[in-house]
Amino acid sequence: MARELTVSVDAMGGDAGPGVVVAALARSVLRHPAAKFLLHGDENVLKPLFAKRAKMLERVEIRHAPEQVKMEDKPSLVLRRGRNTSMWRAIEAVKAKEAEVAVSAGNTGALMAMSMFQLGVLEGLSRPAIAALWPTKRGQSVVLDVGANVSSDADQLVDFAVMGEAFARAVLGLERPSVGILNVGSEDMKGHDAVKSAAQALRGATLPIEFHGFVEGDDIALGTVDVVVTDGFSGNIALKTAEGTAKLVVGFLRAALTRSLLGRIGGLFAAGALKALKRKLDPRASNGGIFLGLNGIVVKSHGGTDALGFASALDMAIDMADAGVIQRIVADRAHLAPQALPEAAAS
């Protein structure tokens, strides 16, 4: 990290509670010596967690928030009555420019609703997207939207391409990331109107985008492109289907290795190798949905994650703030606006 920045953290989100968040902060404080943290939550719960970590409080400021958003709370309700929650306060600090980025492991719908309400959507953009980092054969790709929207028109898909590309340059360090639109076939004639119009707009755009065209579901894991653009419905289903499949295959592997004596012996010899595989597939390593398209950066950690996973969400938040992802998106959309968007809108 090059410069000093402040991360605003919701301590009360997540299934495991604030203990996990504080343990993650302990790692993050070491990893990012120039970062400061605002920790929002119930101070009666939080303060005792720092009893043996008093030195951390030089870099972590506890801000009391008496309430918390529950996993089952409806977004509409928390928007009206959630001003005293740790989640609201975490985002509020970004709005007030006290922090560059907010991180929460809480209720995704509530976090998105509060983020949109407080930070606002970038000018000209109709909806934000949630981006995910996806392990591939070649490394990592960005997939978006994985769940902010239940449907997306051509203009939105074009916006997702711009946002995903800016994110890939910032966080993956790629100079000219390739972008593909997820579809049911790679030929131009395939798919519904939204993907066809979006592809047409991107082909004609004068952007620093390497537009590859359509990709299919198996291209995600192959890493065929650096950025995979899709509507939030298909993207969410693809993400969860991939998670389920990976778990299934590992479960089959475990069963295969314990069924016979030879298998068990082989498993013992290969234990190190299998641990490396487990690490590679560990969802904690790429934990965090990134909210893109807002006047501020918000990272959503998995609700069920542990300290390692939450620390990795904090890493991603700091990388994004450091790389100025929002400024890049704004600049890229400025290039795009006069040329490609009207074409997509007309179709």
Applying CB under 8 A, the residues found at the interface with its own copies are 74, 135-137, 147, 150-151, 182, 184, 189-192, 216-222, 230, 232-234, 236-253, 256-257, 259-260, 262-263, 265-274, 276-277, 280-281
Encoded tokens for 282: 């560990």
C-beta of 2 vs 262, nearer to its own copies: 262
C-beta of 53 vs 190, nearer to its own copies: 190
CB of 143 to its own copies, least distance (A): 10
C-beta of 30 vs 248, nearer to its own copies: 248
CB of 15 to its own copies, least distance (A): 16
C-beta of 96 vs 248, nearer to its own copies: 248
Q: Which of 164, 132, 205, 134 is nearest to 293 (CA)?
A: 164
CB of 259 to its own copies, least distance (A): 6
Q: Are 148 and 75 in contact (CB under 8 A)?
A: no
Tell me the β-bridge partners of 215: 182
Nearest-angstrom CA–CA distance, 101 and 127: 19
Q: Say whether 152 sits in a helix, a strand or coil.
A: coil
Q: Which of 247, 178, 176 is nearest to 212 (CA)?
A: 178
Cα 278 from chain centroid?
Answer: 21
C-beta of 2 vs 261, nearer to its own copies: 261
CB of 114 to its own copies, least distance (A): 18
C-beta of 129 vs 297, nearer to its own copies: 129
CB of 265 to its own copies, least distance (A): 5
DSSP of 149-163, one letter per residue?
A: -S---HHHHHHHHHH
CB of 150 to its own copies, least distance (A): 4
Encoded tokens for 262: 């030879």
Q: Are 331 and 12 in contact (CB under 8 A)?
A: no
> Given phi > 0 = left and psi -120 to 50 = alpha, else beta, which region is 191?
left
